[in-house]
Amino acid sequence: MPNKPDAIIIGAGHNSLACACHLAARGWKVAVYEQASEPGGAVKTGAYTQPGFRHDWAAMNLSLFAGSAFHTENAEELAKHGLAFAPTGNPFASVFPDGRWLGISNDAALTTARVRGFSQADARAWSALTESFPSEAESIFAVLGAPMNLRAVSTLGWNTWRKRGGGGTLDLARFLMMSPRAWLDQTFESDHVKATLAAWGMHLDFAPDIAGGAVFPYLEAMAGQAFGMVLGQGGADTMTKAMVSMIEARGGSVHCDSKVTGIKHAAGRAFGIILQDGTVIEAEKAVIANVSPAGLLKLTDGTGDAQHDQAMATYQHAPGTMMIHLAMDALPDWSAPELKRFAYVHLAPSLDQMARTYAQAKAGMLPDEPVIVCGQPTVVDPSRAPAGKHVLWLQVRMAPGQIKGDAGGTIAARNWQDAAQPFADRALDILERYAPGTRGKILGQHIVTPDMLAADNPNLVGGDQICGSHHLHQHFMNRPARGYADGTTPIKNLYHTGAAVWPGAGTGAGSGTMLARKLAGN
C-alpha cells in the first residue's frame, strides 16, 4: 500500500504535534488523528464567554514550550508558521487575607526587596538561591530533560557526580525527594514567602507535604525571576496552530473529528488504527498513542504483558480542576494596585490551607476553600479582549472528579451538572474577598467542570489536567510504568506519548520530542 503513512499518531495534543513535526522534518510521512473538532488538547483558545474575548481553555503559561528543546531547534520555522509569544517580566504573585502581597518579577533586586519586606533572613536566603540558581538549574534541568532509560540515567549520574562530587550529587538527590513544606521550612521563616512558592506545587499535584514536590516551587520562583513568563500572543493556540501548519507544510496531515476506537496489532506488532466508522488505516513504521494509560489499555484490549497492563489499569490521577472563564469590564481591584501587573495571582493563603484543600479533594469532597489561580492574560496581551476590556482565567484547584460530599457543608449536589454553579460561586466569593467589586465587573462567564474537561479530552481523567499524579512512585523511570518511561510498550511499533509519559505534564513537549528523536535516530 504505497500511500501508507510512516507514523500514525492518535491525539493532537502538543506532544503529538511536536513528535509529528520532528519526524516530518526527517522525512517521515505522518498522519495525526484527533477525536475533537480542533487540535491542541488542553492547549486551545476560544471565545467561550462572548465575541471578542479570547480565553485559553486550560493551559495558559507557555514558558516551558518557549524554553523547550523542541522550540529551540524549530524556533525560526515555527515563527514563519505564525507562532508568537507575549512575554512578561511579572510572572506571578500571591495576595493574602491581611492585605499583604508578594510578587516575583524579572528583576532580582526588586524581588529581593519585596522578600525583605517580610524577613531580612529570607532576603538573604533568596539572594543565596538567586546566586546559585544557574549552576543548580543546570543539574536539575539535566535530570528533568534526560530520557529515563538505564543507559541515559547511568550517564547522567556519572556526569552529575563529576560536576558536583559525591556530596553534591547526594544533596541534589535529597532535594529532588523533599516535600515543598520540608524545603520551605528549612529555607525561609516567613509564612507569606512559603505560601507564595508553595502555590506552584498545587499546579502539579504536589500539596505541601507530598515528597518530591520541592523542585517545582523552587524552579518556578527562580525561573520566573530569571526569565519572566511567556504567554501566547492572541492565545495559547498560537503554539498549536504553528505546529499544525509546520506538519502540513512538510506533507503531513492532521485529521479532526476522527475518533480512534482501536489499535490493530497481531503477533506482538502494531500496524494500524481503527476509526469510529470502521475504517482501518495502516502505518509503515509506528503507531503512536497520546492517550491516558487507561486509554491505551482500552485501545489495545491489552498488550499481552500482565505487568504493563496492570500498571496501566492502576495508574493514578491527580484531583481535578474547574476552569472559570470571565469576560471583564475591568481588572479586579486588588488590595494592592501593583497586582494588576502580574500574569498570575495566587489565592492560596497558607501551607496548611493548601494541604487541607488537597486532602479534601482526594477524599472526594468539594473543598471549603479551594486554591484559586487567577490568570490576567490581558495584562500581558491586550489583544485578547476589546479595547479597555479584560479576560480572567481562573483555575480552581483542587476539585474531585467524583463528588462524595461538600467540606463546606452548603452544597448538596453530588454531580457536577448541579454542583458547578454553587462551587463556582464559592470560588468567586474567595476572589471577591481579595478584590471587592469584582463580580460587578463581569460581562460574561463560562464554567468548565472537571467532567467537561474529561469529555472534551479523555486524557484529562476526572478533570486531571496533568494526566496523572507526579508523585515519586509514578515519576522518573516509573512514568507511566517501570521500563516504559521512554515511550515504548510491550507491543512492537506501538509507542506511548503525552503527559502520562516521562517527563510528564506541562507545555514543554518533552515526551513527544524524546520519542521522535528515539524513532528518527536524531
SS3 assignment for 55-106: EECCCCCCHHHHCCHHHHHHHHHHHHCCCCEEEECCCEEEECCCCCEEEECC
Are both 202 and 249 inside the same structural domain?
A: no
> 220: which residues sit within 8 A by CB, 6+ positions away?
92, 197, 200
- Residue 429 inside a domain? The answer is yes
Choose between 42 and 155: higher pLDDT: 42
- Residue 94 inside a domain? The answer is no
The string of pLDDT tens digits covering residues 106-124 is 999 999 999 999 999 999 9
> What is the per-residue pLDDT for 141?
79
Give CA–CA dist 297/431, Å, rounded: 41
Please say which residue of 224, 257, 284 terminates a domain.
224
Q: Is the pLDDT assigned to residue 32 strictly greater than 90?
A: yes
- Residue 52 inside a domain? The answer is no
Please say which residue of 171, 195, 224 terminates a domain.
224
Average pLDDT, the chain: 95
- How many structural domains comprise the chain? 3
CA-nearest of 366, 356, 359, 448 to 402 is 366
The string of pLDDT tens digits covering residues 263-294 is 999 999 999 999 999 999 999 999 999 999 99
Are both 306 and 354 inside the same structural domain?
A: no
231 residue type, one letter: L
- Residue 161 inside a domain? The answer is yes
Q: Is the pLDDT assigned to residue 159 strictly greater than 80?
A: no
CATH of the domain at 423: 3.90.660
Are both 425 and 352 inside the same structural domain?
A: yes
Question: Confidence class of residue 424 from pLDDT cuts 50, 70 and 90?
Answer: very high
DSSP secondary structure code for residue 184 in this structure:
H
Are both 194 and 285 inside the same structural domain?
A: no
Q: Taking residues 42-71, what's their average pLDDT? A: 97
Please say which residue of 435, 456, 477 terminates a domain.
456
- Residue 102 inside a domain? The answer is no
Q: Taking residues 93-115, what's their average pLDDT? A: 97
Are both 387 and 445 inside the same structural domain?
A: yes
| Geometric angle at alpha carbon 182, from 149 and 141, rounded to 5° | 35
CA-nearest of 360, 385, 386 to 371 is 360
- Residue 448 inside a domain? The answer is yes
Residue numbers of the domain that contains 123: 107-224
CATH of the domain at 505: 3.50.50.60
Question: Confidence class of residue 1 from pLDDT cuts 50, 70 and 90?
Answer: very low
Are both 199 and 239 inside the same structural domain?
A: no
C-alpha cell at 358: 488537597
Are both 300 and 244 inside the same structural domain?
A: yes
